[in-house]
Structure 1
């Protein structure tokens, strides 16, 4: 098996287990250290608590809106202290200040349509919506020295957001085939994680996942994920392997291959130990 396909298989697992992006929603925060500390003090959050809150391991909880109000209020405080403002004096989104691309702006507006009017919840959702819309874009964020070194070593597969990802031609093929955008897909995935019934999510978003898996040739004859193949080409810990097998077994009666693919994605997001998988994968890279 080629190294390129191996990396792409890893990329698909990354998509399934971490909702396709390895950037963090707070990457753009650039307030002064004084403002950062002041926000923590105002909301009675310790540095240790904040480090746990903003960790990559906690990102799925952020996307699923599983956090205490004080953390949302801290995000609002940080957002209000940014040198580049996103909010009006009344604390509402200002598209002109946001300075996003037309596509990102439209995606954010759509995502914010049902935002809670309470200020802390509103600001937190805005940050999440911007993240899902890929705003600010990765090339506007300063990469760390670690990321820059990795980019030189793995140029063919490395993206500006610091992650391996699906190949652009496969993304283009699948989004065109299903008449969706990657940003909209992330929003639908976010909605599903937050509890939106799958009957309210269009089938083309589910077929996008199937298309990606087909493009990587990791499905069996029934168009189900071949867990053994995945474990052969990219290390999976015993616990993650068992979790993937159980997800697969639980969906054997799902005959619609698109629905199966999307449900498999959701099951893996919920049950895989993402940090463990990424750590072992990084060692192999």
Structure 2
């Protein structure tokens, strides 16, 4: 049966004007003139053979017919918008956008990414790096690997692992004038710190049983990977975040002056919108990530299913 439908522009103009109960606010939302809204609503009223608004000097109110029509039209437009987004999402389904820190990208993910691409050639992975966590209300990221705590509502957090922190430095520093015989000697060295992890050094000194007698003075970086680069170049002593930096220790670029570790603040999670748990590309990436972590001998061994986090 042939459908009779009024013009879409008239329907949109009415729905927005009814939602705001204002022609002017409707004009602002649709980026058209006040007269254009008035014209489209009048056109719709003509086609329906009834008035939809009681027009006052500075306000409008829905008539009985308008109050009947508005929720029907609102729901129809919402369904059209939802269906449009589902189609757009399906078109983009072969692309997975992953937001990570530079440290995690360079120190762990990218060296293993070819394995994921070999196993799942139908999924294109886009890597975005940032020192802040993804805000899924504003970000186009599908998933985010983060270190911290569960802070966002309607976001699923899949526990990955917990890192340790420990001091590392260039071998040249051990050969320098100020020896490193015990953890307290670090107070006389330049200590490299991370701008968003200012409690790391106090945390480690507490684990080592050392009271900080003076403020930590040294270079400040926005990622652990940059701090490690500074340590390799002899700029000072940095705190490595396991499992990152272990390859530099094995190669001899860095050394551990003390075998004292402290648990880092926060845990590592894979996060994404709760309503994306059924997404096939998200499920595939999550399984691959957990499998690779369990295979990695540099990540502390633990039964992930038994790890309970608040």
Establish whether TM, by shorter chain, passes 0.5.
Answer: no
Q: Which structure would you say has the larger Rg?
A: 2
TM-score (norm 2): 0.23
Greater helix proportion: 1
| TM-score normalised according to structure 1 size | 0.24
Q: More strand per residue: 1 or 2?
A: 2
